[in-house]
Amino acid sequence: MAFPLAFAGLPIYLHAPDFYATALGVPLTTLGLVLLVLRLIDAVQDPLIGLIGDRYPQHRQLLLLSGVVGLGAGLTMLFHPHHSAPITWFALSVLLCTTGFSIVTIFLQTLGGLWDVAEVERSRITSWREAIGLLGLLTAAAGPALLGVSSNPQRAFHLYSLYYLPILAVATAALLYWTTQVRLLSQQQDKNDHAKKLLRWRDIFSHPWRRRFFALYGLNTLASAIPAVLVLFFIRDRLEAEAATGTFLMIYFLSGAGSMPIWHFVATRLGKYRAWGGSMGVAIVTFIWASFLGPGDLFAYGVICALSGLALGADLALPPAILADHINDSAGSREASRLFSVTTLTTKTSLACATGLVLPLLGFAGYQPGEALPMGLGPLLNITYATLPCCLKILCLVMLLRWQGGGTARSALFDTPV
């Protein structure tokens, strides 16, 4: 299921805004504000999805199927636009497919957290899941180019959405079968006051480790979300290399997939937290060089994609494994869906903030996708795309190092979560 989720994630969050801005002429400022509202709605609904999952674990398969239907229908609608009202159609389509995407993602991560396996196996399993997801991203990155997106984007994304549906159906059947074959930690709620207490959200965040983890995770995700929002614009309008977009994305995601065994080895030797901190350092020292690129710097950007992609594997694999360890160590299985829903809420809030910040900012500065950059906008795009995210990553690393040095043996974020 990680494959079709990633396969859908790239067009939903990356290609769709560019498609509506360039092919349908939707103003970038309008698009950014609509996306901000949609992603905030999408983020806010995640805790509700998690609460329903924890409250009714016996209906998990039915809830999962509802998410699959919403995801498939929404993605199909998204790339078959209504030309007389494109922004309204865009809003409805994105809301439907992101709701389905949220449901499937939360339940997939919850199942991983509830899988009753040894802790040493958990990071390996998570790494494999995220590696398969990266294969989905690679397919999604190459798909539009292979289908002729540069010459006829509407036809390319029409075919893309049609090819997606059978992949989603097969993956859903495989996941439902898997749930009947493995041992999962019990999520059944006791009908007493203690069980009711577990359903209170304030108790979810009463644990200091959780507050620290989600604060760090949120800031780190925001640092990654800004370049994710801008990457297509940066490649086409700053580097003037639209034809190489698929190649750059494939280099980045292949590097991330290839780094999974490396980060698993580092996490096994040094611990998941130190491995995560190391990946932040790698991201900073490699991606900062994108701040200095200009038209024609294709080789340099390819090298940056390859090196910064190394950090991607850790960002994808380690936080879910760390949270799954916490769920196991703290007997938090009854809260698993809500805890993983907080990670999806955090990710989407970061995307919403990134979209609502950088797209209107560039729009007000005079940037129009697909057109020549006015004087002064090139450096602004560099700063927004690369310099700002690196500054946020530095802050994340400082937070992580500070918690390492200031905590006690069992309470610091760097130590084993309890």
Length of the chain as a residue count: 418
Name the nearest CA neighbour of 321 among 343, 299, 296, 301: 343
Find where tokens 């991560």 sit.
109
As a whole number of angstroms, the distance between CA 315 and CA 312 comes to 5
Strand partners, 184: 115
* Residue 152 backbone dihedrals phi, psi, to 5 degrees: -150, 80
What is the C-alpha to C-alpha distance for residues 395 and 217, in angstroms, rounded to an integer?
Answer: 12
Question: Which position has the token pair 């057109």?
Answer: 371
Q: What is the mean pLDDT of the chain?
A: 80
Q: Confirm whether 411 is domain-assigned.
A: no
Residue 128, pLDDT score = 73
Helical pair 28-55 and 60-78, crossing angle rounded to 10 deg: 170
Q: Is residue 284 a part of any domain in this protein?
A: yes
- pLDDT tier at 25, thresholds 50, 70, 90: confident
Q: Check residue 184 and report its DSSP letter.
A: B
Inter-CA distances, 65 with 69, 156, 173, Å: 6, 27, 10
In a domain, 336, yes or no: yes
Q: Is residue 417 part of a domain?
A: no
Q: Phi first, then psi: what are they for 26, rounded to 5°?
A: -70, 130
In total, how many domains does the chain have? 1
CA 176 to chain centre: 23
Q: Is residue 180 part of a domain?
A: yes
pTM: 0.71
| Residue 355 belongs to domain with CATH number | 1.20.1250.20
Q: 334, 54 in Cβ contact below 8 A? A: yes
pLDDT digit string (tens) for 122-147?
A: 666 667 777 787 777 777 777 766 66
* Whole-angstrom distance, CA of residue 234 vs CA of residue 295: 10
Per-residue pLDDT, 290: 96
The predicted-structure confidence for 171-223, as pLDDT tens digits, reads as follows 899 888 877 776 766 655 544 444 454 456 666 677 788 888 889 999 999 99
> Greater confidence, 95 or 208?
95
Contact present, 342 and 49 (Cβ < 8 Å):
no
Dihedral of CA 266/270/276/280: which sign?
A: negative
Q: How far, CA to CA in Å, does 338 sit from each of 219, 228, 343? A: 20, 26, 9
**Do 349 and 46 meet the contact criterion of CB atoms below 8 Å apart?**
no
Count CB atoms within 10 A of the CB of residue 179. Answer: 14
Between helix 28-55 and helix 86-114 the angle, nearest 10°, is 30
Q: Is 324 helix (H, G, I), strand (E, B) or coil?
A: helix
CA 304, distance to chain mean position in Å, is: 20
Which of 239, 363, 250 is closest to 290 using CA atoms? 239
Burial environment of residue 121 by CB neighbours within 10 A (0 to 12, 13 to 18, 19 or more): exposed
Strand-pairing partners, residue 115, are: 184
C-alpha dihedral sign at 309, 213, 387, 378 = positive
Q: Select from 272, 278, 275, 277 the least CA-distant residue to 326.
A: 272
The average pLDDT across 81-98 equals: 87
Q: What domain range includes position 352? A: 2-406
**Calpha distance 218→315 (Å, rounded):** 12
Mean pLDDT of the 292-319 span: 92
Q: Are 415 and 407 in contact (CB under 8 A)?
A: yes
**Bigger pLDDT: 401 vs 54:** 401
Dump pLDDT digits (tens) for 307-362.
Answer: 999 998 888 888 888 888 877 776 555 677 778 778 877 887 887 788 778 888 88
Q: How many CB atoms lie within 10 A of CB 399?
A: 18
Residue 418 domain-assigned? no
Query: Which of 15-19, 30-34, 143-147, 235-239 shows the lowest mean pLDDT across its residues?
Result: 143-147
How far the first Cα of the chain sits from its last, in Å, is: 30
Residue 36 covered by a domain: yes
139 falls within a domain = yes
Cα separation, 405 vs 416, whole angstroms: 14
Show the tokens assigned to 283. 């991201």
In the prediction, which pLDDT does 406 show? 47
Residue 376, φ and ψ in degrees, nearest 5: 90, -15
